[in-house]
Amino acid sequence: MKHSLTVTLKNQSVAVERFLRVVRHRGFDLTHFQLNLSDGYYELDMTVDSDKPIYLLTTQLAKLIDVKQVTLQSVPQQQAM
Q: Which DSSP string do the residues of 2-62 spell out, in sequence order?
A: EEEEEEEEES-HHHHHHHHHHHHHTT-EEEEEEEEEETTEEEEEEEEE-SS-THHHHHHHH
pLDDT-based confidence at 25, cuts 50/70/90? very high
Rounded to whole angstroms, how far apart are CA atoms 10 and 37? 10
Decide if 81 is inside a domain.
no
Decide if 19 is inside a domain.
yes
Decide if 23 is inside a domain.
yes
Tally of structural domains, the chain: 1
Look at residue 2 and tell me whether its pLDDT is greater than 70. Answer: yes
48-60 pLDDT, tens digit per residue, is 999 999 999 999 9
Decide if 61 is inside a domain.
yes
Look at residue 72 and tell me whether its pLDDT is greater than 60. Answer: yes
Decide if 80 is inside a domain.
no
Decide if 26 is inside a domain.
yes
Decide if 79 is inside a domain.
no
Whole-structure pTM value: 0.81
For residue 21, what are the domain limits? 2-72
